[in-house]
Structure 1
Amino acid sequence: MGDLQAVRGHLPGLLNATLDQLLEGLEKNHFTSVQLTKAYLTRIDQVNETVHAVVETNPDALAVAKALDDERASGSVRGPLHGIPVLVKNNIATKDKMGTTAGSHLLIGATVPRDAFVVQKLRHAGAIVLGKANMSQWANFRARGFNINGWSANGGQTHAAYHPDQDASGSSSGSAVAADLGLAWAALGTETDGSIICPAQRSSVVGVKPTVGLTSRDLVIPVSEHQDTVGPMARTVRDAAYLLQVIAGKDDCDKYTAGIPRIPDYVAACRDTLKGARIGVPWKAIQEGLEKNPRYASEVEGFKQTLPILEAAGAVLVEADYASATKDIRDLEMPVMGADFRVNLASYLSRLVTNPSNIHTLEDLREQTQKHPLESFPERDTGIWDNILDKQKWDNTSPEFKEKYDRLQQLGGPGGLPALLDQHNLVAVAMPSIMAPMWAAVVGCPGITVPMGHLKETEPVHEENGLVETGPGVPYGMSFLGRRWAEDDLLGLAYGFEQRTRVREREVKRVVVPSAEIEA
């Protein structure tokens, strides 16, 4: 009995368990990967009816865990992720018994030729693909406005856990909520513009949006080849670095990865590098964001009050503004993404082994979505697709594309983040996470969000289409944006900030928390 109690005393609580804690438990035989996987599956069962973070779990997860336990027992360990359960967003292909649907009923039953490259890397590293995380359908690239945020036709409405009916943000909604609630050790998300950073901050977790090309998009249902990237979502900076280490790398099936100069040791980069770091603060852009969305005033105020922590750590804060206006970039970004989507989607669909709904083009997708009784049309419209097909009409093979794309790069590069970093000799730019993603997205640069705080009990509730976007207890984050391929720089800054603030260690209320733990 004493031995059993001693073992239980070494079992980490799964709400905040780090990879290092899980590894110690596995290495010391305090528990097995099968026991860990069972605990996560039970936690999903306990809360998923409320948060709808997971679309489906892998029916082979326990068998995979058992095989990995056997490998460990024989002295063979593949690396830090050996026997560790991870969730992947439902637009990342897995060739197993699970689907890859981007949240659409029209892709149920469709099969892929193989795992996405990032999933291959996960499995090779010994990770257990536990299930598919829910997402904003088609990565938030279907309906106008926010009426699809966190919702998918075959996954339901994802809610974050800090306020009743909380908007989980999107599009990696389920990945963020699952990481926050400890429904897996960590999760993969994807971002085109904000789809990792925004949901991560709303669930008080760390999200890394890598440089476009650092992680392969092979067999990931696309939005834009120029902006899409796959990244980690985890409860700590160090854990996000562990996951990024595994999924980064060159892939012959994604030409953008050919540009990777080197892959540093991201875990080793998790050391406090704030002292002496020159960090830009673009107040003009922050004010522009606030004027457009006054409901973010408390987050901006929280950001202001947090900056002295960076200065106390020895960081040099430099007021430095982007030359371009937010609106000018936004006006070009959507047409460019739409031009990519039309072509990139057709390319993905052409690679399916089976395609029961016989969808091959965006035209097919729109027609069948509008007719399907479970696709919630017209309540959730197809406004983005309508604009691409009926108004814009040109795609990324058209002469118009180069002109628009080159102009966007001018606004986003010489007028945006890269120029700001160079002109002021900055290692990064810091912004409230809600306003940060675009500046990195349009030029393929990396960003990271770290929990910064929670809105106060006096915060008014702001609803958008029935979801609470901001209100008492809702988390918000700080983002660091940097140069292409400089994820290690951002991880060091984020780690230093995290260690000084430790927001996730604060006592906060959640609407729902799973209670299941590892049973050894």
Structure 2
Amino acid sequence: MKKHVLLLVIIILSACKNKQETINENVVLWTPYNDSAEIAANADHENGRMQYKLIQSKVLDKNEVFLPLYEETSKVTEAEYQKLLPLILEQDIFTIRKHIKEGNLTYEKLVLFYLYRIYKYELDNATTLNTVIALNEDVVEQARELDRLNEKGVATQIQHPIYGMPILLKDNINTLGMKTTAGSIALMNNEVDDSFIVQQLKKNGALILGKVNLSEWAYFLCSGCPVGYSAYGGQTLNPYGRKVFETGGSSSGSGTAVAANYAVAAVGTETSGSILSPSSQNSVVGLKPTIGLLSRSGIVPISSTLDTPGPMTKNVKDNAILLSAMLGYDELDAASVKENYPGILSAGLHATPFSEMRLGVIKELVQTDSIYKKTIEDLKEAGATIVEFTPPEVTMNGFLSILNIDMRNDLKSYLKQHANPELVKISSISDVVSFNNLDSLVRIPYGQALFEGIINDSTTTAELEEIKSNLEKNGRTFFDNALDKYKLDAVLSINNYHAGYAAVAKYPALTVPMGYKTSGEPISLTFIGKQFSEANLLRLGKSYEEKFPNRVLPKDYQN
């Protein structure tokens, strides 16, 4: 009798599986379209980097990305989605948690809300940002498990605020269950375990929603090419002006996804400007931390000297929460710090009074940018002490060699430690260059001048160490002359204008929406401080954001 019952169960399960496979085979969520008209329309764009050769990926089938969660997402009705909209859209993490605690929202509904938005906009060729390139197929069930724990009375006061919050990751961050491609076709089969920061996020209860597009190889492949383009994911587009404004790079998908409310928050990475630039271009809050505050293990590298991951969010409060959820000492990262820098989690809740602020303002920016000038006037009127100064002239000689030699060595180490040689057939920069040359139209439509430069760079180890030492000293001189002389809390910049100096100084930088140009293009105010001053920068940013709430949702992504 038991054998017959078991056989019946197997038959039923098999039938269900076959039925589901049939459904998935018959459902076509997305169809490639002819983007030649769009490419032609941008041929005369005043920004040469936006004269695109490709918009769609030639290798990524969005059906493969979106079909696995189609059945779950399709159960959400437009009426149900609209009911959730005011509870979630643009809301900060503490507000969302309050709705869950009060029973107005569940973790499952929170995940399905974001999936609904992603499907709604990303599967429509008229609104797609080419941002989401992978989804966690288990995320809905993982959310349900958190709801079950909630019903059993798991104490919310012992949870990190990131608990249950859906997070998107830049696709150079190793994540179990999803490929980590760095935007390259050479890594499209790169199956890996979790990076250290993803382990920390999961330990704190975050839900990894999926992966987002980026500038291929973190924008260290081609020269003068569009930011936000990768051969694997296609051309990322800016929600404030698709094909009108740049997305910034290289964390392009992280910036656009947060701007369009595709997740609570996203994680980006920066070597020099790759968090600050897309955060500014997409009117979101981005923090590039001090080198060593966050682990880099399991992240496709450019430079072990300058690389760092960092949080990208809709507000300063969430930025502090996401940053704190990734903290931890990683013995596999030589730069990782053991010290526990306090105050980061609470920084987004405790704004610095304007009367206590001492801010350095760069004279040239006051003279050349009207939005920056008006912002400085507003800060002064609010009570901040403003010190205008001209930074010293310092050289950045050898900066490119740091990137060249580090990447030549660090990528080889990453591939050896993390890539499965059965699935990934490259082991060096030279291998990637050769791989790309086999099909230049699909793999490198904008060339690979920077990768070729890596191969040809003859800088010696001794020369490289001298370059690193000189640049770190020069970068710190650029900021410290004013920071020390006038006892400043931070230097104020625009977007990623001074990201290179902050990079070599290994200083943190926080960018917060400052407004919009007459064209509608976002612009941001960037706070730069000394090493491990993240909590202070967040408190400054929180005060500025509260007094001047400049972020506005992109108009085509408000419903």
Letter of the structure 2 residue corresponding to residue 17 of structure 1: Q
Letter of the structure 1 residue corresponding to residue 474 of structure 2: L
Distance apart, 1:7 and its partner CA: 13
Letter of the structure 2 residue corresponding to residue 164 of structure 1: R
- Where relative contact order (Cα < 8 A, 6+ residues apart) is larger, the structure is 1
Letter of the structure 1 residue corresponding to residue 320 of structure 2: A
Structure 2 CA distance, aligned partners of 1:167 and 1:45? 23
Structure 1 CA distance, aligned partners of 2:184 and 2:298? 16
Q: Which has the larger radius of gyration?
A: 2
Structure 1 CA distance, aligned partners of 2:385 and 2:251? 33
Q: How does 1:276-425 map to 2 (within 5 A)?
A: 276-284=356-364, 286=365, 300-325=369-394, 328-329=395-396, 331-355=397-421, 356-372=423-439, 375-377=442-444, 379-390=445-456, 392-394=457-459, 398-413=461-476, 415-425=477-487
Q: Is the 8 A contact 1:85 1:130 kept in 2?
A: yes
Q: Secondary structure at the match of 1:168?
A: coil
Which segments of 5 or more consecutive residues in structure 2 lack a partner in the other structure?
A: 1-78
Q: Is the 8 A contact 2:509 2:526 kept in 1?
A: yes
Structure 2 CA distance, aligned partners of 1:367 and 1:158? 26
Letter of the structure 1 residue corresponding to residue 175 of structure 2: T
Distance apart, 1:53 and its partner CA: 1.3
Structure 1 CA distance, aligned partners of 2:454 and 2:217? 15
Query: In the TM superposition, what whole-angstrom CA distance separates every residue of 1:328-366 from its partner, at most 9, and x where no partner exists?
Result: 22x422211211111111110101251324211111111
Equivalent of 1:71, from 132, 149, 152? Answer: 149
Residue equivalent to 1:465? none
- Residue 92 of structure 1 pairs with residue 173 of structure 2: yes
Equivalent of 1:429, from 491, 498, 505? Answer: 491
CA root-mean-square deviation: 2.2
Q: How does 1:496-515 map to 2 (within 5 A)?
A: 496-504=543-551, 506=552, 510=555, 512-513=556-557, 515=559
- Residue 62 of structure 1 pairs with residue 140 of structure 2: yes
Equivalent of 1:176, from 242, 251, 255? Answer: 255
Query: In the TM superposition, what whole-angstrom CA distance separates every residue of 1:441-471 from its partner, at most 9, and x where no partner exists?
Result: 1111100000011111xxxxxxxxxxxxxxx
Residue equivalent to 1:140? 219
Q: Secondary structure at the match of 2:346?
A: coil
Q: How does 1:102-181 map to 2 (within 5 A)?
A: 102-112=182-192, 114-145=193-224, 147-165=225-243, 166-181=245-260
Q: Is the 8 A contact 2:164 2:206 kept in 1?
A: yes
Percent identity, please.
Answer: 32
Q: Secondary structure at the match of 2:253?
A: helix
Structure 2 CA distance, aligned partners of 1:374 and 1:437? 32
Distance apart, 1:282 and its partner CA: 2.2
Distance apart, 1:265 and its partner CA: 3.7
Q: Is the 8 A contact 1:153 1:374 kept in 2?
A: no
Q: Is the 8 A contact 1:11 1:30 kept in 2?
A: no
Q: Is the 8 A contact 2:249 2:274 kept in 1?
A: yes
Distance apart, 1:6 and its partner CA: 13
TM-score, reference length from structure 2: 0.80
Distance apart, 1:80 and its partner CA: 1.4
Letter of the structure 2 residue corresponding to residue 363 of structure 1: S
Query: In the TM superposition, what whole-angstrom CA distance separates every residue of 1:201-259 from its partner, at most 9, and x where no partner exists?
Result: 11111001111111100101111111111111110100111101111221111121125
Q: Secondary structure at the match of 1:52?
A: coil
Q: Secondary structure at the match of 2:557?
A: coil
Q: Secondary structure at the match of 2:336?
A: helix
Residue equivalent to 1:251? 330
Structure 2 CA distance, aligned partners of 1:85 and 1:218? 22
Residue equivalent to 1:83? 164
Q: Secondary structure at the match of 2:505?
A: coil
Query: In the TM superposition, what whole-angstrom CA distance separates every residue of 1:71-128 from its partner, at most 9, and x where no partner exists?
Result: 22212243212211000110000012x110100111111222x211110111111111
Q: Secondary structure at the match of 1:272?
A: coil
**CA shift in 2, pair 1:353/1:337, >3 Å:** closer
Which segments of 5 or more consecutive residues in structure 1 lack a partner in the other structure?
A: 291-296, 457-471, 516-520
Equivalent of 1:477, from 524, 529, 540? Answer: 524
Q: Is the 8 A contact 2:167 2:266 kept in 1?
A: yes
Structure 1 CA distance, aligned partners of 2:222 and 2:256? 22
Give the ranges of 4+ consecutive aligned residues of structure 1 lying more than 4 Å apart after TM superposition: 5-11
TM-score, reference length from structure 1: 0.86
Equivalent of 1:486, from 533, 545, 549? Answer: 533
Whose helix fraction is larger, Structure 1's or Structure 2's? 2
Count of matched residue pairs: 471
**CA shift in 2, pair 1:75/1:372, >3 Å:** farther
Letter of the structure 2 residue corresponding to residue 267 of structure 1: S
Letter of the structure 2 residue corresponding to residue 488 of structure 1: A
Query: In the TM superposition, what whole-angstrom CA distance separates every residue of 1:25-62 from its partner, at most 9, and x where no partner exists?
Result: 11111121111111111111122242011111111111
Structure 2 CA distance, aligned partners of 1:218 and 1:422? 34
**CA shift in 2, pair 1:269/1:183, >3 Å:** closer
Q: Secondary structure at the match of 1:179?
A: helix
Q: Secondary structure at the match of 1:448?
A: strand
**CA shift in 2, pair 1:38/1:6, >3 Å:** closer
Equivalent of 2:266, from 187, 192, 195? Answer: 187
Q: Is the 8 A contact 2:130 2:213 kept in 1?
A: yes
Q: Secondary structure at the match of 2:172?
A: coil
Q: Secondary structure at the match of 2:355?
A: coil
Structure 2 CA distance, aligned partners of 1:444 and 1:411? 11
